[in-house]
Structure 1
């Protein structure tokens, strides 16, 4: 766990998880998560974003709510997000260092809570939401980047596809949420260049310890040869979204 925390701290300080430089075409994406969050917000609402990373997407919602609070427990992420918030000039966005296990706000403080591809704790999310408040999360499914996992012989998880979704649904139910709905997609992704794909592998834990294990670059060249298309180097992005009401 400490190694993972160090990884996120380092990458957060480097780029805040802003992958806008990566040229990638996606086909089959069924939603934009933060668009879905914005749809649930009223102008008078307080919004909490758990695991906000570099805060770029939270800042894009500044007009959707009265107060937006992004929290993250990685120092590098918080530093980057605070710098982004200061540069934006938006005075209704706050970035705070905070653990999702212990959200330091009063009971029923927020109207909407969101969490994109970060861990959350259902009971704590329920505690800080008002009655009738909405929680949304998007997470990476176990079937994400399956051809990369096969090519390298290792991945972020060994769990069955759908295990994380079912775990979170169970936890949300136990925490008292209702109207729990799930959606998923499995989109094709085409990375324009080898450099774009390598950037992804170097800055995410999709293939653990990429480049540190002997033979990785041989495996990479074989992968590129097999999956290169006219549109780019093909893999997949599998995501699920859960919405729930307190």
Structure 2
């Protein structure tokens, strides 16, 4: 577009031809600008596209790759889960799919695993995931409180700590039924299309909880703090270990 006017002057184009070319170029320029905006908002981590992808080096069959590249599964509102060991190209492949979706005019949002716990709070369109996140916490909190109450007794944490978790065993059991029958069931009766989003919120919560548990237990077994850095003005104190 920036070279058009100098070219028209040098070649002495007819004014009508200049206008015609300008009108033809304007939509293309607008589409390119929209594409750049969608890419920026998506927050892709590395800018990988299928131009960088070596389909022969992947364990995903060529037929499956070609099928996913059509993006028809998005139109059908299907979920995609890509699993495999570290370093096998999962992130590159999924980012390339996201880039293809952006080029097809779709809006994409890239989340790192660390963002999954907070992303449902960012936009109303993620309300299904938010309800799933909330439900996962409430449905599992009563059994968790029971185990914590037993841990308080086993470690001698005292009556106040025991009473705190004992009360939550019964209270959270009531909350569980409310969440199941009123919150989740009520939402899906009104908006049944949100069922995959609710499932996503539940799955994301479980995944993050599992990763946190592994991290904390590893620190416990190695007899070290799970904090990235010591708290200021706090003396390090080793917790009492249970003999059981």
Q: Which has the higher contact order (CA 8 A, sep 6+)?
A: 1
> Which of the five TM-score ranges fits, normalised by the shorter chain?
under 0.3
TM-score (normalised: structure 2)? 0.28
Structure exhibiting the larger radius of gyration computed from Cα positions: 2
